[in-house]
Amino acid sequence: MVEDILDEGDVKRKSKRLKFGDGNDGFEGEEERMTKKVRILEDDDEDEIEGKEKWEQDEEEEEEEEKREAKVMKIEEEEEEEEEKVKALLASPSLSGLVEVEAEAECASSPSRMSQSVMDNNNSVASTSNNMRQVPSGIETGILSKVPPELLRHILKFLSPEDLVACTLVCKFLNFAASDESLWRWLYRMRWGLLLPTRKPRDCAWKKLYIQRDADDMMEFVRNTPMEFKEYYIQMQAAKRSQAPPPSQVNDDRIILDKTVADQVSIWKKKKGLGDKVVIDHACSGETCTYYQIGDVYVCEKTGHVHVCDDTCREVVTDPINGLLVCTISGHCFDRMLSPSEMELDGEQQQVGTIDEAEPFMGSGRFARAYLLGYNCDDEKELEDALRFC
Amino acid sequence: MASTTETKQKKMLILKSADNDEFEIEESVGVQSETIKNLVEDGFTFVPLPNVYTKALIKIIDYLKKHANKTDSNDEEIKTFDKDFVNTTFDDLFELVSAANYLHISCLMNMLCQTIADRIKDKSPEAVRKIFHINCDYTPEEEAKIRKANAQAFEGQFDESLD
């Protein structure tokens, strides 16, 4: 199984190379233009561009490597899943403790993949029917220790991506909080809108997506800028990530539920004698507690913890069987926006090496591509050829 | 005399803090808090607030009173009030933020969170640790690893000062 995937990775890699060759040609043309424009420091220029090409190549390879890693991880996950069944039978605190330690090590080694591993961890902890919290256990010292975690998130919403990255170094818990998926998704959408650059949105965490796209944008910017303005453009671009979201946007978030539902929740809570106090040593999941449901809202019958299960649900784990995202609390399934069969189709296209996914049709669907391609065709035959590529 | 009859007509609420201190406020002032509003709508006039201590509650009542009388003319005045309101220690800020969250006063919540965030903004991780008295729980290896990953992500400049 691993071999299969590695093979596929190799083929992909080759096709990437092919693509890279094409991109290269375009680049040389640009280089010519540039030297014409600038006409000074010709040699330096060339060096720099070569350096950049190398960098680009490295990056591309790195990307490939990451994809492979992700695949291998998936397999590991599946294996883990089987182990879990055994573990569930042997459920004992010491075992689940071990799982936690392992997962924590993983988190520390790759902060951007953190949410993923936390999800896995969540999964395993839940199935060992243990109520231990999967996150680093909060800040133990100082003023921040008094702040409930969900408030911390609200505070972090006022920070820029750069500040959030700085927060990851402060301590484990702040790393966890500042790598929050919903935070980064929100930041990503604020900057680039709702659409994703490729059709495979959930290949990696939002934080990683953000950082990647930021780097891509920067490169694009620098490449298309005349030499004398480069410094300014770099600064301009960098300012985008060091800018905190405007307060008006922050208020947008539904930290307070809409009134009618909130009413119902508080009435129910009052009836059950549950306060608004945050219960820390309890992790909700479908296996540990029962819920009172009001529309999208799930209230834990043990703690009164409220979970809103809409499309921003953060309690999802990946179901290993069909690859769907499943909420651990409500059991709702979420589409990954791309079914496995579509994903395979995509892989085939890449192997043929004829379509450059990142380039002109960024973020558009198949029909949009077909339309665009068809629009530029001169005759029937060309149209037919073009349609094969979308 | 006219004023006394007026106050009598106004519905009053009693808020009880976690330290068992009681405060009487006008209903129109109190309902800026979603939590209080919900209780008022259910017919309560006595509101126990087991999560809010007297110290924070006094400040919050001040805030609510000020903002209940918001008109176009005293906009500047309220801004100055808000500025003074958040000009306090971190301990107080966090106390207030927890209380505001419990009481569901979203404008106050946002203002407080913004204030706290502003003090983290542009700081180096070391400075953030010192400001909030957080002990670093990373091993040196872990820290180096994250530092390296961050350096690759964005290369930013931090402010090392502690104010």
Global ipTM: 0.80
- CA–CA separation, A315 vs A338, rounded Å? 20
Cβ contact, residue pair A147, B128, below 8 Å: no
Question: What is the four-CA torsion angle of B115, B27, B75, B80, rounded to 10 degrees?
Answer: -40
Residue A359, C-beta contacts closer than 8 angstroms, at least 6 positions apart? none
Average pLDDT over residues A104-116: 40
Question: Which range, A91-95, A224-228, A352-356, is most confident?
Answer: A224-228
Q: Which residue of A has its CA nearest to B142?
A: A108
Q: B117 and A141: CB-CB below 8 Å? A: no
Give the pLDDT score at B2. 45
What mean pLDDT is reported for chain A? 60
Q: Is the pLDDT of residue A343 over 70?
A: no
- Asked whether the predicted pLDDT for residue B160 surpasses 50, the reply is yes
Place A122 in a pLDDT band, splitting at 50, 70 and 90. Answer: very low
pLDDT reported for residue B94: 87
Q: Which of A6-10, A118-122, B10-14, B96-100 has the lowest mean pLDDT?
A: A118-122
Here the tokens at position A5 are: 């995937």
A234 close to B (CB below 8 A)? no
A39: number of Cβ within 10 Å:
9
Q: Which helix (H) or strand (E) holds B15?
A: strand B12-16
Confidence of residue B53 (pLDDT cuts 50, 70, 90): very high
Asked if A352 and A385 touch (Cβ cutoff 8 Å), the reply is no
Given an 8 Å threshold on Cβ–Cβ distance, is A142 in contact with B133?
Answer: yes
The three-state secondary structure class of A258 is coil
DSSP one-letter string for A169-184: TT-HHHHHHHT-HHHH
Question: What is the model's pLDDT at position B32?
Answer: 92
Does A108 lie at the interface with B, CB-CB under 8 angstroms? yes
- Chain B positions touching A112 (Cβ under 8 A) are 149
- Which of B109, B123, B132 is nearest residue A142 as measured by Cβ atoms? B132
Contact A155 B42 (CB under 8 A): no
pTM of the entire predicted model:
0.49
Across residues B36-45, what is the average pLDDT? 90
Closest CA to A357 of A19, A117, A93, A21: A19
**pLDDT > 80? residue B47:** yes
- Residue B16: the pLDDT is 92
Mutate to test the interface with A, among B97, B139, B154, B159 (most CBs of A within 10 A): B154
Which residue's structure tokens are 């294996």?
A79
CB atoms B135 and A141 under 8 Å: yes
A143 touches chain B (CB under 8 A): yes
d(CA A246, CA A69): 37
By Cβ distance, the residue of A155, A169, A263 closest to B146 is A169
Chain-chain contact of B97 with A155 (C-beta, under 8 angstroms): yes
Closest CB to B124: pick one of A156, A166, A168.
A166
Name the maximum alpha-carbon separation found in chain B.
75
